[in-house]
Chains A and B, each alone.
Chain A
Amino acid sequence: MTPASENRLTAAYLIVALIALFGGVVTGLLQALEHAGLNLYPPLTPVVQSYYHSLSLHGVLNVLVFTTFFICGFLQFITSRALGIPLASRRLAWATFWLMTGGLVLAAVPLVGNAATVLFTFYPPMRAHWAFYIGLTLVVVGTWLVTLNLALTSRVWRSRHPEARTPLAAFMSLVTFVMWTIASAGIAAEMLFMLIPWSLGLVAGTDALLARVLFWFTGHPIVYFWLLPAYVSWYTLVPRQAGGRLFSDPLARVSFILFLVLSIPIGFHHQFTDPGIEEGWKLLHAFLTFAVFFPSLLTFFNVVASLETGARARGGKGWITWFAKLPWGDPSVAAQVLAMLLFAFGGIGGLVNASFNLNLVVHNTAWIPGHLHLTVGTAVTLSFMGITYWLVPFLSGRHLWSRRLALAQVWLWFVGMVVFSNALHRLGLMGMPRRTMIGVSAYIQAEWQAILPLVGIGGSILFVSAMLYFLNLVLTLVASRGGPTAEGRGAPALPEFAEALSGPEHAPAILDRWRPWLALALVLIAIAYGPTLVRLAATTPFNAPGLRVW
């Protein structure tokens, strides 16, 4: 049982995360409608001052705030539960939460005030207000303190269980945070050595290329920071929620270790079209990107095989038709299985992005938001929604207000996303740029105009789904019943961790060691990034002055 303090901590993180998501979907709707030719920005001007102000809010709220806060809350909760002990330091945990929230508020002031309309990638020499950079940096520092607390907690556990394998869910949570901590060195360096002194006026100039290299050092692995917590749920909770078992515990550990080793040295795949980096280094990053496809395929296999054990235990038959026997009436399972389904397409699209020459067709086109709404916007977001369908009732002690509403919400997200994402992918292939106020652009093409309404329709369905989601959660808190119900349900309970067909006893000891894998990760990073970073650090003139262009 997790002690009450961890529950409150997780609830606090969840509240911040879900408020951010709310802002994220409102701005998303406005953007989607703008693409469809319905420009609602003029009447909203006092609040949202432009399409690009909206897009900056959308990116930051969704993928920097919602994800990060959700993950910090969820994985601290999971680790403590999997290890069966409280976090090593509650004071540290709460101080961290307040540090992150303080940083968020600091960054939010200029962001909301249109003084940081630089999108969530904040490429210089576009220059935001200094508070934006310092605030975001404090959020990152907060995540490092979460890593510290998780590491200390697992040390306490280890001292009591010197021989046992770390429970899978705790191991995965720790891998996620350790990977992220190494990865975030890039963005931290960009902030501390470039953007913060420059925005404060302490140095006159900056450099676009070096900033982008440091940003994408973090910017690729950040997608694994978002995704791995969803995997934690898919591997350790969903199999049991689906009535089955995890297929293979050792294989799950192997794939997480490979994510730790391979997530970082591949950031140049976001810079294939950047001048100033040799093609050879880009090729190496492309190679390693294909290597990360391997642990992704392992995950696909392991998770699907686990679902299959559940469906067969429930009477499923056939090669494919067992799929229908999953517990589709459980919104938490339905959300996460649908998230997996769309993620398969996101993964295939990701291979296109990584493919060097194909990247030339899709880079910075609408294909990219089409892709990222399948991955972070669905695989991650819809899974997190599915998790809250048990987590919020558990934390609040109240039953979910309506299971059927939740099911409708989940399917609406799925349908809306199919329409929305498919339209953006096709528009991208027709050369429509992303991050652009397309509806009023000077060069809108007739062939785009045939598809753009689908962006609006899909986006509206997504928005309705999101509103139903928030409605259900709010009604759960204010209008739902606690304790046992008339339909014979007990008090809201937690899903148990899944047992495994091939359990931790089959995992060799090397899979529970850190040093060799960390060393390997650092060596690969040094090879993939070392020469370019050293060259840029030694030769960059820092002569680009900052500009406010919005």
Chain B
Amino acid sequence: MKRGTTVYLYELAWILPSVAIPVGMLVALLVTAFGAGVHLPGREGRVDPTRVAATAPFDLPGVVALAPGRYEARMVAQTWSFTPNEIRVPAGSTVTFVVTSKDVVHGLLIHGVNVNVMLLPGQIARVTARFDRPGEYPFVCHEYCGIAHHTMWGKVVVEARR
């Protein structure tokens, strides 16, 4: 009987921290995530993947200025390129990327900022990032999308303000 009791005490001594550790980490996560305003992609609506070229805003891919320092980049992904594959904005801009895929699943990962999103045919993806430092920020397709997947990339060029 004594052996059972000792085991029981050890179990208890472990169970309590085993609850506390994940709970503590979860709290830390929520505080940092929402404190820093990090958001995940959500529901932004659908688009018919066979009619992307005829559907606004994807009929006119490119960068549009919404307000001073605020831009929207409308992009289309297809095998094996992004349209457009170069985005130019001035330093200090906040850019919202509105992207979809015309064919298979692609992805968009922009180096140097927190943009990492899947591009699914049928779904509109919308993510926002701020570009402070002038320079080039390469972006790549990070989901296998066919035989030349490794050639699918582009860059955000952030120009110094004069």
- A436 to B152 Cα, complex, angstroms: 10
Determine whether the beta carbon of B153 is less than 8 Å from that of A357.
no
Confirm or deny: A81 has a beta carbon within 8 angstroms of a beta carbon on chain B: no
Residues of A within 8 A of B121 (CB): 125, 208, 544
Confirm or deny: B111 has a beta carbon within 8 angstroms of a beta carbon on chain A: yes
A-B residue pair count with CB separations less than 8 angstroms: 197
- A61 to B116 Cα, complex, angstroms: 29
Confirm or deny: B41 has a beta carbon within 8 angstroms of a beta carbon on chain A: yes
Known A294-B19, A545-B50: A431·B44 in contact at CB below 8 Å: no
Determine whether the beta carbon of B29 is less than 8 Å from that of A355.
yes
Residues of A within 8 A of B39 (CB): 279
Residue of A nearest to B124 (CB): A275
Residue of B nearest to A247 (CB): B7
Confirm or deny: B54 has a beta carbon within 8 angstroms of a beta carbon on chain A: no
Confirm or deny: A43 has a beta carbon within 8 angstroms of a beta carbon on chain B: no
Residues of A within 8 A of B7 (CB): 247-248, 501-502, 506
Residue among A287, A293, A437, A541 making CB contact with B149, cutoff 8 Å: A437
Encode A231-247 as 1/0 by CB contact (under 8 A) with B: 00000000000000001
Encode A420-442 as 1/0 by CB contact (under 8 A) with B: 00000000000101111110111
Determine whether the beta carbon of A279 is less than 8 Å from that of B40.
yes
Residues of B within 8 A of A115 (CB): none
Encode A267-281 as 1/0 by CB contact (under 8 A) with B: 000011111111100
Closest Cβ of chain B: how far from A536's Cβ, in Å? 11
Determine whether the beta carbon of B149 is less than 8 Å from that of A248.
no
User: Would you list which residues of chain B between 18 and 65 have a CB under 8 Å from chain A?
Assistant: 18-19, 21-23, 25-26, 29, 32-33, 36, 38-44, 46, 48-50
Residues of B within 8 A of A541 (CB): 46, 48, 122
Residue among B119, B122, B143 making CB contact with A544, cutoff 8 Å: B122
Residues of A within 8 A of B119 (CB): 275
Residue among B21, B50, B144 making CB contact with A543, cutoff 8 Å: B50
Known A436-B144, A501-B3: A274·B118 in contact at CB below 8 Å: yes
Encode B89-123 as 1/0 by CB contact (under 8 A) with A: 00000000000010111010101101111111111
Determine whether the beta carbon of B25 is less than 8 Å from that of A351.
yes
Residues of B within 8 A of A361 (CB): 114, 116
Residues of A within 8 A of B138 (CB): 443, 445
Determine whether the beta carbon of A290 is less than 8 Å from that of B150.
no
User: Would you list which residues of chain A between 431 and 471 have a CB under 8 Å from chain B?
Assistant: 431, 433-438, 440-443, 445
Confirm or deny: A323 has a beta carbon within 8 angstroms of a beta carbon on chain B: no
Determine whether the beta carbon of B120 is less than 8 Å from that of A276.
yes
Determine whether the beta carbon of A212 is less than 8 Å from that of B120.
yes
Residues of B within 8 A of A278 (CB): 42-43
Confirm or deny: A363 has a beta carbon within 8 angstroms of a beta carbon on chain B: yes
Confirm or deny: B74 has a beta carbon within 8 angstroms of a beta carbon on chain A: no
Confirm or deny: B79 has a beta carbon within 8 angstroms of a beta carbon on chain A: yes
Encode A178-214 as 1/0 by CB contact (under 8 A) with B: 0000000000000000000000000000011100100
Residue of B nearest to A437 (CB): B150
- A50 to B148 Cα, complex, angstroms: 10
Known A357-B36, A361-B116: A277·B42 in contact at CB below 8 Å: yes
Determine whether the beta carbon of B149 is less than 8 Å from that of A209.
no
Task: Indicate the member of A277, A305, A357 with the most B CB atoms within 10 Å.
Answer: A357
Closest Cβ of chain B: how far from A130's Cβ, in Å? 18
Determine whether the beta carbon of A549 is less than 8 Å from that of B122.
no
Residues of A within 8 A of B43 (CB): 275-278
Determine whether the beta carbon of B29 is less than 8 Å from that of A433.
no
Known A282-B40, A298-B14: A547·B150 in contact at CB below 8 Å: no
Residues of A within 8 A of B23 (CB): 290
Confirm or deny: B66 has a beta carbon within 8 angstroms of a beta carbon on chain A: no
Known A273-B118, A298-B15, A443-B140: A209·B123 in contact at CB below 8 Å: yes
Determine whether the beta carbon of A297 is less than 8 Å from that of B118.
no
Closest Cβ of chain A: how far from B26's Cβ, in Å? 5
- A278 to B109 Cα, complex, angstroms: 20
Confirm or deny: A119 has a beta carbon within 8 angstroms of a beta carbon on chain B: yes
Known A501-B3, A543-B49: A436·B122 in contact at CB below 8 Å: no
Residue among A209, A273, A290 making CB contact with B116, cutoff 8 Å: A273
- A549 to B38 Cα, complex, angstroms: 34
Residues of B within 8 A of A22 (CB): none
- A293 to B24 Cα, complex, angstroms: 12
Determine whether the beta carbon of A293 is less than 8 Å from that of B22.
yes
Confirm or deny: A251 has a beta carbon within 8 angstroms of a beta carbon on chain B: yes
Residues of B within 8 A of A390 (CB): none
Confirm or deny: B145 has a beta carbon within 8 angstroms of a beta carbon on chain A: yes
Determine whether the beta carbon of B151 is less than 8 Å from that of A274.
no
Known A431-B111, A434-B142: A275·B125 in contact at CB below 8 Å: yes
Determine whether the beta carbon of A364 is less than 8 Å from that of B107.
yes
Residue of A nearest to B49 (CB): A544
Determine whether the beta carbon of B123 is less than 8 Å from that of A276.
yes
Closest Cβ of chain B: how far from A9's Cβ, in Å? 36
Determine whether the beta carbon of B11 is less than 8 Å from that of A248.
yes
Closest Cβ of chain B: how far from A332's Cβ, in Å? 26
Residues of B within 8 A of A279 (CB): 39-40, 42
Known A431-B109, A436-B149, A442-B153: A293·B21 in contact at CB below 8 Å: yes
User: Would you list which residues of chain A between 533 and 550 have a CB under 8 Å from chain B?
Assistant: 541, 543-545, 547, 549-550
Determine whether the beta carbon of B33 is less than 8 Å from that of A356.
yes
Confirm or deny: B147 has a beta carbon within 8 angstroms of a beta carbon on chain A: yes
5 residue pairs from A and B, CB less than 8 Å apart: A273-B107, A274-B41, A276-B46, A361-B114, A443-B138
Which A residues fall within an 8 A CB radius of B?
A: 50, 52, 55, 117, 119, 123, 125-126, 207-209, 212, 247-248, 251, 271-279, 282, 286-287, 290-291, 293-294, 297-298, 301, 305, 351, 355-357, 359-361, 363-365, 431, 433-438, 440-443, 445, 501-502, 506, 541, 543-545, 547, 549-550
Q: A356-B33, A443-B140, A547-B104 are in contact. List 14 more A-B contacts (CB 8 A).
A: A125-B103, A276-B43, A276-B44, A276-B120, A279-B39, A294-B22, A357-B33, A360-B115, A431-B112, A433-B141, A433-B142, A435-B142, A506-B4, A549-B145
